[in-house]
Structure 1
Amino acid sequence: MMTGMSDSPQTPPGGADRTPPGDLGWQLGMVLRGYQSRFEAAVEGVPSGIRGFQILSTVVHRDPPNQQALGSHLAIDRTVLTYLLDSLVEAGAVERVPAPTDRRARKIEATEHGRVLLAQHEERVAAAEADLLSGLDDSEARTVASLIGRLAMDVHRAQPGTSPCEAMDHLP
């Protein structure tokens, strides 16, 4: 028995709210793994899965001016983006049209079918995200989402070419 010590083996030095250096990586990895499995299930049926959903969502909600800007925003290599777009075009979810500012460039636009597909899967993704956060009350869930959003933007500003898809692809 350890007497005279304020911290037990279960309580990290510095108190109950402190975790040892390195635990954040494990915690983020576990949350990411939980998110990825729910996200994959939620976007089942979208051509190219998670990446296809992210492309369709970006096209609808952010309206990038051309294919290059779309790839840059999602940090997807242009060769890979071409294959992903081919699958979405073949499924009738998006179409390539000449960009209004540069006829040599292509703008990616969602079709009506693509907008319906996105709306259906956004509902499923929202339910998956709610399921992931179900162990928190509403206020905590909003706080976690806000803090993660701020951290993500800090990382994005510091490393603008970093691909979130790559991080998910390389989970152990």
Structure 2
Amino acid sequence: MEEQPELVEACLEKWDFNWLLHRATQRVGAAYAEEIAKFGVSLRGQLVLQALASDEVQRTQLKLGAMLGLDKTTLTSELDKLERAGLVMRVPDPNDRRVRTPVITDRGRELQKEAGDALAEVERAFRSRFTHEEMAIIRRALQDLSRGEGPMHGSCI
């Protein structure tokens, strides 16, 4: 479905805060999704790989899901895909057979690094629209909104 620029501009002028945030998220998310697809993983998959690659402390699936804002079903499905691709493995806890700890493989670490670099370029393109000072304000505002009170439903991505 192709957008009609005059309608988009009319909506942008409306100033509905929720709509503007949602629209910005769609734009950025679509650019990220297009780039990450080149690596054969989803945005969620990259989020999981990034967490596993950057975190020194191993986390159980349950703790990983809580940290990333991914519900149990979503995380399990994503880990299944990543495991089939040889990017992660789930190691049983020696003290509790029901508990699994996802661990990134060497192949997963390489892919995550390459994909992360590519996504950083996508982000740089968006950030280039703003001065350093404007980006600092935007980042602080988004962090503040993310920490806000109120219900959180569903997965973060």
Any gaps of 5 or more consecutive residues in structure 2?
1-12
- What is aligned with 1:15? none
- Aligned letter for 1:58? A
Q: Does residue 91 of structure 2 align to residue 90 of structure 1?
A: no
Q: Which whole-Å deviations, capped at 9, do the CAs of 1:62-106 have from their partners, x for residues lacking one?
A: 445201112222333323322211110111110000236644300
Secondary structure, counterpart of 1:82 in structure 2: helix
Aligned partners of 1:60 and 1:110 also within 8 Å: yes
Distance 1:65 1:161 in 2: 22
| Alignment equivalent of 2:52, drawn from 59, 68, 73 | 59
Q: RMSD of aligned C-alpha atoms?
A: 2.5
User: Greater CA radius of gyration, 1 or 2?
Assistant: 1
1:1-172 to 2 correspondence within 5 Å?
23-62=16-55, 63=57, 65-99=59-93, 102-155=96-149, 158-159=150-151, 162-165=154-157
Aligned partners of 2:70 and 2:154 also within 8 Å: no
Give the TM-score normalised by the residue count of structure 2.
0.78
Percent of matched pairs sharing the same residue: 26
Distance 1:147 1:101 in 2: 43
Deviates more, 1:94-103 or 1:134-143: 94-103
Secondary structure, counterpart of 1:43 in structure 2: helix
- What is aligned with 2:7? none
Distance 1:44 1:103 in 2: 34
1:114, distance to aligned residue in structure 2 (A): 0.8
Change (3 A) 1:98 1:46: farther
1:22, distance to aligned residue in structure 2 (A): 5.4
Change (3 A) 1:30 1:161: closer
Distance 2:26 2:153 in 1: 22
Give the length in aligned residue pairs. 145
Distance 1:46 1:106 in 2: 26
Any gaps of 5 or more consecutive residues in structure 1?
1-19, 166-172
